[in-house]
Structure 1
């Protein structure tokens, strides 16, 4: 890695496709309290050989730290299968609140508004409640456990060893499913 580059500092935005801009606005602004910060209607050729420009609305919702969650509403190319519920291991969005009491209050408020939030689940380093947004994306509201910093510091000390052990344990199974070429995507010089 080029050591003259400053480390990347934060996520400016994470972006997802949405079924409907207004329905998505309702969920993120009215239910979760995020401010609709921008909505740009755009026509762009991304060079994807679609034979036309992509026409879409690009919305941004502002988080408390000034970063954003963004959505693309593109009815001309979207399909129903894009919006089936995603397995949380494939995609989920975790938003942080400050305490376990706050987490429970969020859950109570959302449940009272007809949105079922499962949990809280104690993951050791965080506590979380889960629901789905209108686009099939699992949304998690989470808070750090009181000892979260100590847990993460302890885990950091053994993270590379845990990764190496996991790779050795699962490599053969993954090669059978994906092939070794798929698992070795590092740039070759």
Structure 2
């Protein structure tokens, strides 16, 4: 028994149409499906919603719920804004830089390029306040992943005991990367 893949990931949105149009324009995702109900199928609660689905590439689906009868969306006040995010992979650094330029040209504030060692990322927020990351592989990704794989259990064990960042993967940030 094993999971095949993610079927979809669902977030809440303020406005379904605005969200579809933003993801189409900014991230070139196709709008693939909409479902609207007055009753929640799993709980039978009366709670009208619009559930939209976007093609995130490679069989991945990003979904949103607009819930007009619920209080406005909020964030967990105890979790920093940078923690909860969704990350999408792009082919290479050239594509990452194209997206960065495209987003900025359309008024989206972009953070990065950030070098994470095995991959490089940019960060920004969608119109709902969800943090989004685009990531591309580092040219040395395979070697970096192999090195990370070799230390993952030791890192997890050390973290579990101390709740301080172990130094096993310091090699990731040992180099300076120019964006």
TM-score (norm 2): 0.83
Q: 1:99 to 1:45 in 2, by over 3 A?
A: closer
Describe the shift of the 1:38–1:83 C-alpha distance in structure 2 as closer, same or farther (beyond 3 A): farther
> Which residue matches 1:44?
40
Q: For structure 1, list consecutive stretches of 5 or more residues without a partner in the other structure.
A: 172-189
- Match among 108, 124, 135 for residue 115 of structure 1: 108
Matching of residue 16 in structure 1 with residue 11 in structure 2: yes
Counterparts of 1:59-74 in structure 2, within 5 Å, are 59-74=52-67
For 2:96, the equivalent position in structure 1 comes to 103
In structure 2, the residue matched to 1:186 is: none
Aligned residues: 162
Task: Judging by fraction of residues, say which structure has more helix.
Answer: 1
**Is residue 34 from structure 1 mapped to residue 35 from structure 2 by the alignment?**
no
Shift of residue 78, structure 1, vs aligned partner = 3.6
Counterpart position of 1:142: 135
The offset of 1:170, in angstroms, is 2.3
* Structure 1 residues 13 and 148: alpha-carbon distance in aligned structure 2, compared to 1, 3 A threshold: same
What are the Cα deviations for residues 40-97 of structure 1, in whole angstroms up to 9, with x where unaligned?
Answer: 002215449xxx42210110001221220000001111424359996121x1011111
Q: Which runs of 4+ in 1 moved over 3 A?
A: 45-48, 82-86
What's the secondary structure of 1:38's corresponding residue?
strand
Between Structure 1 and Structure 2, whose CA radius of gyration is higher? Answer: 1
Indicate the SS of the match to 1:81: coil
Equivalent residue in structure 2 for 1:81, among 74, 77, 102 = 74
Q: Tell me the SS of whatever aligns to 1:124.
A: coil
